[in-house]
Amino acid sequence: MATVLDGRRLAAEIENRLSAVIGAHQTTVGRPPGLAVLRVGDDPASGVYVANKEKACARVGIRNLGAHLSASASPADVLDRIQRLNADPEVDGILLQLPLPPGLREGPLLAAIDPAKDADGLHTLNLGRLLKGEAGPRSCTPAGVMALLRQAEVPLEGRRAVVVGRSILVGKPMALMLQAANATVSVAHSHTRDLAALTRQAEVLVVAAGRPRMIGAEHVTPGAVVVDVGIHQLPPAPDAAPGGKAKLCGDVKAEEVEPLAAALSPVPGGVGPMTVAMLLLNTVVGWCRAHDQPHDLDAWLF
Ligand code: NDP
């Protein structure tokens, strides 16, 4: 039976630590940290993600300074809003919620975010810092995976790690973080031949392919630690009550992998809550740095 890599529990622990850091410095700084989640358009999944982030801000005492622009906003409108958030002294973190509506290119807009306020760690400068092993805000999802592995005391040094997926959002920074922890890392993508032969070599397998239930028992060596980053809504069962909660699945067939793996992250409740926790962490660390305040959050900086 695999150990559960419980992201909900660890995220709650991190939130408590963040609340304590905020409580310790708020009087000196004169204001709480501020996070601006910028949403453009009405993608329904984004609506759920943004609401979750706003609720998490409220729990730890981060001010929510987000904005919602209409799907017809022009690139200049979005750019103007980003520049105003960059200049706003009350804002410590900015996140541009992806995906953007058609007609808006994410590259130039992400590049316009002040790297010091880049709560999502996706600015080119911050990705470059990760590449060079320099400090800076890290991409939230891979940092959340690293925190889960650390919490479970999964050894990485000298271990064989395989990352399935090479996106800028997840796969590439994930591989760099595992490599920085001295794992020997391979990255698989849609052109990889014989994926199962590669993933079976993994002692640590991180799956971020965005393909529902693509990783089964044949991909996993017994005793591997498996992290499932994927998240997908399953179509409702034909007999489901209308308005019921949608069922979620990951990129991993949990029922096949769970009996084999040493540890597995659940979907939901694994990487998802950790992504939000790392967003809050980046915001609080940015607030501390901007106001020259100490913190004890180094264990979660990768
Ligand atoms: P992308 O679609 O941007 O990237 C998917 C990657 O997987 C690509 O590199 C692609 O290869 C690779 N891939 C696709 N099919 C295969 C295959 N059959 N074999 C091997 N590799 C394959 O997705 P993201 O990285 O943005 O997200 C991945 C998943 O993680 C999604 O389900 C997403 O919803 C989820 N996610 C979850 C988060 C969370 O908080 N839990 C946060 C962010 C994402 P190629 O480059 O060749 O196209």
3-state class (DSSP) for residue 94: strand
Which run of H or E residues covers position 233?
strand 232-233
Is 31-113's fold the same as 140-272's? Answer: yes
Cα of 210 vs centre of ligand 1, distance in Å, is 4
Catalytic residue set: 53, 97, 120
The pick from 48, 190, 233, 280 for probing ligand 1's pocket by mutation, whose C-beta has the most ligand atoms within 8 angstroms, reads 190
Which run of H or E residues covers position 256?
helix 254-257
Q: What pLDDT does residue 58 have?
A: 98
3-state class (DSSP) for residue 190: coil
pLDDT in tens, 24-46: 999 999 999 999 999 999 998 89
pLDDT in tens, 233-268: 988 877 777 777 778 999 999 999 999 999 999 999
Determine the atom of ligand 1 nearest the C-alpha atom of 251: 32
Q: What pLDDT does residue 236 have?
A: 80
Q: What is the pTM of this model?
A: 0.97
| Fold (topology level) of 140-272 | Rossmann fold (3.40.50)
Closest by CA to 79, choosing from 107, 98, 99, 54, is 107
Q: What pLDDT does residue 239 have?
A: 79
C-alpha pair distances (Å), 211 with each of 46, 165, 177, 266: 19, 10, 23, 16
The CATH number of 31-113 is 3.40.50.10860
Q: What pLDDT does residue 286 have?
A: 97
Characterise 10 by phi-psi region: left (phi > 0), alpha (psi -120 to 50), beta (else): alpha
Q: What pLDDT does residue 220 have?
A: 98
* Among protein residues, the one whose CA lies closest to atom 1 of ligand 1: 167
Mean pLDDT over the full length of the chain: 96
Q: List the chain residues with pLDDT less than 70.
A: none
Here the tokens at position 257 are 């992998």
C-alpha pair distances (Å), 115 with each of 5, 9, 96, 112, 118: 31, 30, 13, 8, 5
Q: What pLDDT does residue 1 have?
A: 85
Q: How many CB atoms lie within 10 A of CB 165?
A: 23
| Distance from C-alpha of 284 to C-alpha of 269, rounded to nearest angstrom | 23
Here the tokens at position 122 are 């996706």
Ligand 1 pocket, Cβ-based, cut-off 6 angstroms:
141, 164-167, 169-171, 188-192, 195, 208-211, 214, 229-232, 271-272, 275
Domain boundaries, the chain: 31-113, 140-272
Q: What pLDDT does residue 242 have?
A: 75
